[in-house]
Structure 1
Amino acid sequence: MQRLIRFQTMLESGGISLPKDMQELQSLLSAIMYTLNSKSKLADIRSTPMGQYLDGHPFFALALLVFGAMATVPLGLFLTFAIVTFVTASVGFVFLQGFLLSLGGIALLCVLCGLAIIAFAVSVILRAFYITSSNVLDYYYSRRSAHMKQDTIGSCPGCESDASSCPNPSFQKQKGQ
């Protein structure tokens, strides 16, 4: 910074003659430097030891500025890559979870449908068994009842026509049924 001020004073004193375009560029640069020096935040930074070191070593300050400007592109690319990777992984995780839940839901549906079919088949088999056993038992007891009736009729003469007049109570129950 001090070298720039010395260079500016040499130009103003007439020690060096420059073309008109260069003088315009120099005046523009002087205006920028004045604006930068008048800002209070920049003055605070320049008062720190690091700011004083950079003010005393303009080549190092320029190298640091160029490095910072050039590092923004790779740093920006890396941050973009990291964000895209994170978003892609998150979306992929959501899709994977959705796929797995759908697969589990389909498996559950298949198991429940299988259980419903098995329950229906077991119900049909039990119903058929109940109807068959009921008919067999009815047939057995009706044959037994008819056989008992014949035994009762044969043992109680005169009760054939009217069961209520029969003195045997078991015969009256059988006849009433």
Structure 2
Amino acid sequence: MNAKTDTAARERLKAIIREKSFRDGVDITLASGRKSDFYFNMKPTMLDPEGAALLAELVLDALGPDRPDYVGGLEMGAVPIVSWTTAASHRRGVPVAAFFVRKKAKEHGARLLIEGLGPDETIEGCRVVVVEDVTTTGESALKAVDAVRAAGGEVVRVLTLVDRQEGADETMAKAGMPFSALFTAAEFRTASGS
């Protein structure tokens, strides 16, 4: 994408997120345990045909010219992101492989924590960008970072679709982890009058 197309795609994706995935003026408990009056449920956007296509292209663009070997992240939120992004990378001719990290290893079968790698495939020595759908404190993303590091991968950045701006940047800074977001909560809260 060029800069003009990228801006248009970002604005269109933001509109889809606002319509399908953002709620303000609610009373909700987040996965982090915090109470909030606004909420992002990115699954309707990630599973919308246009939303998925735009998301994949923008995530791929956000990886920059120095592409990682892999994108991956914690189940469930990262699974659609990495699936669409790896497909978009193939279409562009700049393949980036993908995987996801289970919250806990299965108790049967291969008992893997990291899923999606072929029988002779490993992330050891590979550069990885960990992706997440919505980031609050950053603790969930760090679980994926820890799993990648334990498997010998080098995490070069954490990339989130939406940063709720509730401490993730500080958490990542303390962990020495570069962190970026496609969108911030302020972009949606301002637009909705909050």
Instruction: Specify if TM > 0.5.
Output: no
| Structure having the higher Rg | 1
TM-score of the two chains, using structure 1 as the length reference: 0.19
Counting strand residues as a fraction of each chain, which structure ranks higher? 2
Pick 1 or 2: higher relative contact order, CA cutoff 8 A, min separation 6: 2
Higher helix share: 1
TM-score between both structures, scaled by the size of structure 2: 0.18
